[in-house]
Structure 1
Amino acid sequence: MNPSMTSADGACYEYHGYTVTVGATSQDGENWLPAIDVERDGQQVELDAPESAVPFWATRAEALRAGIERARYLLDRRDGLLDERNPGRRG
Structure 2
Amino acid sequence: DNSIDFLHPKKDALDKLDISDLKKLKKSFDTILSTIKFVSETAKQILLDYQTDKNLIKTDVSKLRSHLNTLYDQMKEKVEEARKREKDILSSKQLFL
Q: TM-score, normalised by structure 1?
A: 0.31
Q: TM-score, normalised by structure 2?
A: 0.30
Comparing both structures, which one devotes a greater share of its residues to strand? Answer: 1
**Greater relative contact order (CA < 8 Å, ≥ 6 in sequence):** 2
